[in-house]
A = this chain, B = another copy of it.
Amino acid sequence: MIVLGIDPGTAVTGYGVVVGERMVPPRLVECGIIRTRPRDSLASRLQEIHAGIAELIQRHCPHVLAIEDVFYARNVRTTVVLGHARGVILLAAANARLEIAEYPPAEIKKAVVGTGGATKEQVQFMVARLLRLKTAPEPADASDGVAAALAYLMIAALPRIDREMDARPARTVPLRR
C-alpha cells in the first residue's frame, strides 16, 4: 500500500510518500515540498501545484491520496485561497483514480501522536519515530505531508474489533436494581 500524504498550501504544499504493509513498520520513500512564487498569479501557482502532484502520482503510483481538510478558518480569505489549491490537488487524484482520504488536522494528530491537541513538535517527533528516521523531515510542511500519509496507515491498521464495537448498536438490556 503506497500512500501520498499532502499538506496543502498555495505558497508551500508539503508531501510525503509512505509505504505500509501488514505487520511491517511503515517506510518513507520520499518527501518534500512544492514551493510557488508569491509574485506569480494564483492561476499559475495552481498550475504548478497541479503539475507537481500529477508528477508525484505518475512517479510513485500511490493507491491513496491522504490530505488535510481545510474547513475551519481564522482568516476566511486565506482558507478560500487554500481551497483553490486543494481543488487542483483533488483533481489530480481523481484524474489518476486514486482513493482519497480527507482528515481534519486533529484527526491526523490523534492518529500519529494519540491526541488531537498534539503540538507541531510532538507530531514531528512521532513522524521520525514511526519511520525510524534520525530527525523529522524538514521543512515542517514536508513533515505534515508525511503525517497525513501515516494517519491513513495508522487508521487502516486499527484492530477490526475496535471498529466493529463502534459500529455495534448499544444494547438496551435493563439492569436489575
Interface residues of A (CB under 8 A from B): 41-44, 46-47, 50, 70-73, 76-77, 79-88, 90-91, 93-95, 100
Contact = CB atoms under 8 A, between A and B. Distances in A.
Given A41-B100, A47-B91, A47-B95, A73 B76 contact: yes
**Majority DSSP secondary structure for residues of A touching B:** helix
Count of chain copies? 2
Given A47-B95, A100-B41, A100-B43, A84 B90 contact: yes
A76 B71 CA distance: 8
A79 B71 CA distance: 10
30 contacts: A43-B90, A43-B91, A43-B93, A43-B94, A44-B94, A46-B87, A46-B91, A47-B91, A47-B94, A47-B95, A50-B91, A71-B77, A72-B76, A73-B76, A76-B76, A79-B80, A80-B80, A80-B83, A81-B83, A82-B83, A83-B83, A83-B84, A84-B84, A84-B90, A85-B87, A86-B87, A87-B87, A87-B88, A87-B91, A88-B88
Contacts of A84: 83-84, 86-87, 90
Contacts of A88: 87-88, 91
